[in-house]
Structure 1
């Protein structure tokens, strides 16, 4: 029932949720075939063989949080417990599945030895800000308490990452005191891919890079893509949980990797954050720009974007995480 509803959620909300404004409902109906296509691309490779197992984490009294857990057999060196990496999928805050990032998450587990827990959260327009980040914060708080007993993972050697909207939630989660130094469970690093980190600006007002297509076939969906921050933007314009680009430097991870595709309206806000933090502390943020990349390019089939192009970003991220673990006494 969960799978059936999640795959057809846009249509169900459009048809049966009368509390959602009409400007979102008709767009959700048109989004349905796109969702089926993207979910199929992300899920079908794992129908018969999975590098992960699914858990429903008992975070809330009346609902659980679906998570994919990646853990590779083997023995590490230097620490009793394995590193822990939290992953958060994208989907414009209105959908998505953690399976879409399974290729990268599997590599993290296999090549670094970390336990990877890939999370989901509630979606807009039914659940605008702060529902998504509230779910992530509560889930991470639960994971910190249960990581050792449940997965043999070390919450004191924890990193975080995310794709697109997941990158926003990953950096927004760092605003919680238990994820900041000097807390023992402070995040040691973050890895984000085409993160949407400035929600003060609606998507149709973001500056377009030189090679951005003149015509966007999905432009009619932009109001829907804005349904997470849009309804509360005016009252939360200064909230770093919504727009991590304005977060104070000391609240963010001490090491950060930002993988940025050049053909994306989100280039400027990511570079702005990286430049500010590196000006305060040189070398803190490592930036990788893929000249041929566009938003979401890491999640499309290899027939559309060559595997070696995607691996350039993934290789950089794996090396970054291995380096981070080594600084804290873990080798795989």
Structure 2
């Protein structure tokens, strides 16, 4: 099984990567059983929300290598115009293109890991949703994963219309945990061009690696004892080796990015009992101020309630009491209603973005 092979990569890196420090390899061995459990849960959930197809996406900056991505397509066809259409006409209309990037601390995860959200987004919005993988730490460190997802995005902009009749000019993104960080790097890479990102939503996204995990402020409600604290060095294996060199790099620290390089419409879903709460709320608050100034300079006096294709829109919501990764956990372990709200709000937000750029879902009988 793909998920088993992917999970055992941790063991392979621990045993067959002599260039890694012994301490790192020891931590990988400790991580392996946890990874098997996590991957099994992700794979099991993904069976309930199956993807439509799988592809290998070549990496432009690393010739000869590719990453695996899974595709979620809506079961019914949609239209990208508000004008009445006949069924044959509707079926030729282009769908929005959405790229999702999974989390996993940069050292693991599956593209199927966010199947619940990706499948629901495809079905309710009509978008073609591509969920991608990338190369993992500790063998690969910054900027490898960031370059990988930028290569994936470039491949999609060039091929999405041919492969799925999807319009890369209506491109939106989502990211879970470090996937949110990678998604914002994709947006920066495409900023100002033909395929500039129109919308983005993050779930517990990491936006600032200038501090290692053990120095990030703990919010109220954070567990007094972190059972995974012994693995914190691994969580820093991607960004930590060259932290001083990369301290001002907005690709790794999107909290430093200029708002003009970020998606036009952004929604941040923040877990209240997460060490990422502080950095996420600070970034969202800063962007809300910047958005008002940015819009006023362009003659838009107020930020609209929903995306309109003209204004820059920034929204953030804190889900109190929720821990990091809660949206990806099995239903018995989380507040299902809060997760439903987080996913529902994000899907509605992305649908509003699609609508602002001329796409409206039409259900076919």
User: TM-score, normalized by length of structure 2?
Assistant: 0.87
DSSP 3-state at the match of 1:174? helix
2:203·2:269 contact (CA, 8 Å) conserved in 1?
yes
Q: Does 1:149 align with 2:178?
A: no
Q: Which residue of 2 aligns with 1:116?
A: 129
Q: Does 1:221 align with 2:231?
A: yes
Give the Cα separation in 1 of the matches to 2:270 and 2:215.
19
Q: CA deviation at 1:280?
A: 1.6
Q: Which residue of 1 aligns with 2:43?
A: 43
Give the Cα separation in 2 of the matches to 1:107 and 1:134.
28
Give the Cα separation in 2 of the matches to 1:213 and 1:47.
32
- Aligned residue pair count: 329
DSSP 3-state at the match of 2:352? helix
Alignment of 1:299-318 (within 5 A): 299-318=328-347
User: TM-score, normalized by length of structure 1?
Assistant: 0.96
Q: Does 1:87 align with 2:116?
A: no
2:138·2:238 contact (CA, 8 Å) conserved in 1?
yes
**Corresponding residue to 2:74 among 72, 75, 85:** 72
Q: CA deviation at 1:100?
A: 1.5
Alignment of 1:242-253 (within 5 A): 242-253=252-263
Give the Cα separation in 1 of the matches to 2:55 and 2:270.
31
Change (3 A) 1:49 1:241: closer
Q: Does 1:24 align with 2:24?
A: yes
Alignment of 1:131-146 (within 5 A): 131-146=144-159
Q: Which runs of 5+ in 2 are unaligned?
A: 82-92, 293-302, 304-312
Give the Cα separation in 2 of the matches to 1:39 and 1:3.
6
Q: Does 1:164 align with 2:184?
A: no
Change (3 A) 1:2 1:269: same
Give the Cα separation in 1 of the matches to 2:74 and 2:226.
41
What are the Cα deviations for residues 37-83 of structure 1, in whole angstroms up to 9, with x where unaligned? 11000102345872332111233531221001001132323342100
Give the Cα separation in 2 of the matches to 1:45 and 1:200.
34
2:57·2:68 contact (CA, 8 Å) conserved in 1?
yes
2:221·2:321 contact (CA, 8 Å) conserved in 1?
no
User: CA RMSD of the aligned region, Å?
Assistant: 1.5
What are the Cα deviations for residues 79-129 of structure 1, in whole angstroms up to 9, with x where unaligned? 421000100000001111121200000011000000000010001110000
Q: CA deviation at 1:145?
A: 0.5
Give the Cα separation in 2 of the matches to 1:237 and 1:36.
33
**Corresponding residue to 2:117 among 94, 104, 125:** 104
What are the Cα deviations for residues 186-237 of structure 1, in whole angstroms up to 9, with x where unaligned? 1001110000110111000000001111111110100110000000111010
Give the Cα separation in 2 of the matches to 1:295 and 1:278.
24
Give the Cα separation in 1 of the matches to 2:331 and 2:118.
17
Alignment of 1:187-206 (within 5 A): 187-206=197-216
Change (3 A) 1:4 1:158: same
Give the Cα separation in 2 of the matches to 1:153 and 1:50.
20
Q: Which runs of 5+ in 1 are unaligned?
A: none
DSSP 3-state at the match of 1:123? coil
2:270·2:319 contact (CA, 8 Å) conserved in 1?
yes
**Corresponding residue to 2:355 among 310, 326, 330:** 326
Q: Does 1:207 align with 2:217?
A: yes
2:51·2:70 contact (CA, 8 Å) conserved in 1?
no
DSSP 3-state at the match of 2:332? coil
